[in-house]
Structure 1
Amino acid sequence: MPKRFYTSIPTNYPACEHKDCPMAAICLHQTVYTTMLENEEYIHLINPHRCSKNETCSYYRDNKPITYTRGFTNFQKQMFPEQYQRFMSILIETFGRNPYFERRRGETALSPKEQDIVLRALKRAGVTKELKFDNYEENLNWYD
């Protein structure tokens, strides 16, 4: 578990009390339950009757960190102006104007799903070479 785990639990993150679940050791919802019991006044629980207590549980979240990216300011320098305009238009249509610029500057970390959206927008804009994001970081995937 990363060192930042205990300080990075999102506010009101739902916990699971099923420590007997075969997925409990690697599920974020169950892992936070123990921490929250020790540190929190109130705990938001997932309804125990809604958990399937196996690998098909819809609440299961793997506790392994995944790669998030931040920023893609260098993309513009490596694209033709028409490509960049198309790329930017696609992403503004997807995320909205301000959220697009927050993601571009690196203020918002991009999940693997959002990275895929950005990479597909590059292809739709006609970019054929592989472009790299500004920064890469390992984080826990709390919600996806």
Structure 2
Amino acid sequence: MKEEPDSLSVPYNFARCFNAQCPQAPKCLRHIATQLDTADNLYITIINPARYPADGNQCECFKTAVKVHVAWGLKRLLDRIPYEDAVSIRIQMVGHYGKTGYYRFYRGERGLMPKDQAYIRQLFRNKGIKEEPTYQRYTEEYIW
């Protein structure tokens, strides 16, 4: 699966902020999103400029720009563990995420956020498997 630039991952309806004078702009995901936009977007959602706070420090729309470590693909996840444990872990993941959700993770269509990775790690620990789960690839993504 190919790497996608950050501009493709900005949700269509994510509100952008064009207040470049705001002291929090370099740390605000809404302002960073304006820099990731391309001409491909005919319409975008923006924060109403009339709502910009005077000092910029108490902005109700501020969203911290933090990237998280996202894992992709489960195809090889269960290859190196005992068959019985692999079957049990797979059943638990399908029960937790649903069949559709599980297969989206499996095929790498959807990334596993840190909480999902922790859940899978715990499934391994519950079976006595000390080896860390490994995924097909990893990326650093913003939490929109």
Structure 2 length as normaliser, TM-score?
A: 0.70
Tell which deviates more after alignment, 41-50 or 96-105: 41-50
Aligned equivalent of 1:132: 134
Aligned equivalent of 1:32: 33
Partners of 1:88 and 1:44 lie apart in 2 by 40
Partners of 1:8 and 1:102 lie apart in 2 by 17
Equivalent residue of 2:78, what SS? helix
Q: Confirm or deny: 8 A CA contact 1:87 1:124 kept in the other structure.
A: no
The alignment covers a number of residue pairs equal to 138
Partners of 2:115 and 2:19 lie apart in 1 by 29
Matched AA of 2:24: M
Q: How does 1:1-144 map to 2 (within 5 A)?
A: 4-33=5-34, 42-46=43-47, 48=51, 53-54=56-57, 59-62=62-65, 65-138=67-140, 140-143=141-144
Equivalent residue of 1:78, what SS? coil
Structure 1 length as normaliser, TM-score?
A: 0.70
Pair 79,40 (structure 1): closer, same or farther in 2 beyond 3 Å: closer
Q: Confirm or deny: 8 A CA contact 1:71 1:104 kept in the other structure.
A: yes
Partners of 1:122 and 1:82 lie apart in 2 by 12
Shift of 1:15: 1.8
Shift of 1:135: 1.3
Q: Flag the structure with higher helix content.
A: 1
Gaps of 5+ in 1: none
Provide the alpha-carbon RMSD of the alignment: 3.4
Shift of 1:18: 4.4
Equivalent residue of 2:79, what SS? helix
Gaps of 5+ in 2: none
Q: Confirm or deny: 8 A CA contact 1:68 1:112 kept in the other structure.
A: yes
Identity of aligned residues (%): 21
Shift of 1:81: 2.2
